[in-house]
Amino acid sequence: MSHPRSKSTAAFPALTIGLDVGDRTSYLCVIDADGQRVEQQSLATTADALRKYFSRCGPARVVLEVGTHSPWMSRLLRSLGHEVIVANPSAMYGSKRRRKRNDQSDAEYLARQGRADVALLHPIQHRREDAQVHLEVLRARDQFVGMRTKLINHVRMTVKSVGHRLPKCSAEVFVRRVMSEIPEALRPALAPMLVTITSLTATVAQYDAQIATLTTTQYPEAQHLQQVAGVGPITSLAVVLLIDDPQRFTSSRDVGAYFGLVPKLDESSDQQPQLGITKAGDEFGRRLLVSAAHYILGRFGPDCDLRRFGLALMVRGGKNAKKRAVVAVARKLAVLLHHLWITNATYDPNRLQSRRAA
């Protein structure tokens, strides 16, 4: 249905449409340039329903919250000629949302916020569709690794509960190493589980092959990031796919905040409490960076600027000194990887030490 277009002013778009997205049904609210509510209605959360409505609607600013459906919906609406703003609800509402709310009022709230000032929505940028598809390869592998880890831990604890202990080994060789160590009484219960672990290991190996192919053929920049010790194919490819467009950041330092590795800020007057990290952004990417930081600070980590920086923080002591050091190294690692990516520079693990010596 086409709407009577009011003349857009320098301050407000002609039409702003707030779209409260539900899994099956979405509600929209149309606001004109004068702030008058033009229409409210519900739509099925399907591509056909959205295409049918928005193809007949004149160019508008469409505001929706980030969620499961927001990537494909935002791409579809942009292809129909609309300006699309994807709002970040956690930044908009803070820790508490409004007390009185429903789908209709949420849609109108998004429309009015989008009409007034886009910055109030804390808009986010979705990655490209092919990057999203390739990222799911990493996420799927992570799910299988998690299932395998749970099964291995269950086998170990079961054997330990009857007075035995299985030898230490990697997950890849677990079944081969422990098969003969399983007590005879537990074999009927654990043998099928060992078969499943073997199957999961083979599946993980298939995903590893896919990741190697993606890194070699489509994302050579991920290979460039593997210059840093502790950053392997999975971490480097995840960083590339999660960031997608390195030019979206004006400074490499912003990447630490993008992965939620910077402290929360809640200052008021002269009170400046020390808070934990924000944990904003993608949990999977943050976990991989923290894992790489653990390796850098661990017993096998090579001597480098990152390791010396983290160890210096640990020496200060205090509560959770090691945890703080790991997070700080992960944050610096994220900044370093982005800098290497945009500059295509060769990584010098001792650059700061060399500069100080000079």
Domain boundaries, the chain: 15-121, 129-218, 220-358
Cα separation values, 137 from 111, 140, 143, 145, 233, Å: 36, 5, 10, 12, 13
Q: Which pLDDT band, with edges at 50, 70 and 90, does 57 fall under?
A: confident
243-258 residue pLDDT tens: 999 999 999 999 999 9
Domain 15-121 CATH superfamily: ATPase, nucleotide binding domain (3.30.420.40)
171-182 residue pLDDT tens: 999 999 999 999
193-233 residue pLDDT tens: 999 999 999 999 999 999 999 999 999 999 999 999 999 99
What is the mean pLDDT of the segment spanning 140-156? 98
Does position 72 have pLDDT exceeding 80, yes or no? yes
Cβ 257 vs Cβ 338: under 8 Å: no
What are 140's two structure tokens?
A: 């799927």
Residue 351: other Cβ atoms inside 10 A: 12
Does position 6 have pLDDT exceeding 80, yes or no? no
Cβ 229 vs Cβ 296: under 8 Å: yes
* 3-class SS shares of the chain: helix, strand, coil, % to 5: 55, 10, 35
Give CA–CA dist 55/6, Å, rounded.
19
Q: Provide the pLDDT for residue 94.
A: 66
The dihedral sign for the CA sequence 193, 198, 201, 207 = negative
Does position 52 have pLDDT exceeding 90, yes or no? yes
3-state secondary structure of 69: coil
Does position 271 have pLDDT exceeding 80, yes or no? no
Cα separation values, 290 from 205, 293, 295, Å: 23, 5, 9
If you search the block for the tokens 């299932």, which residue do you land on?
147
What are 26's two structure tokens?
A: 């979405």
If you search the block for the tokens 């929360």, which residue do you land on?
264
Q: Provide the pLDDT for residue 58.
A: 86
Q: Provide the pLDDT for residue 352.
A: 84
Q: What is the model's pTM? A: 0.88
Does position 9 have pLDDT exceeding 50, yes or no? no
Q: Which pLDDT band, with edges at 50, 70 and 90, does 354 fall under?
A: confident
User: What residues are paired with 86 via a beta bridge?
Assistant: 64, 124
Give CA–CA dist 63/18, Å, rounded.
5
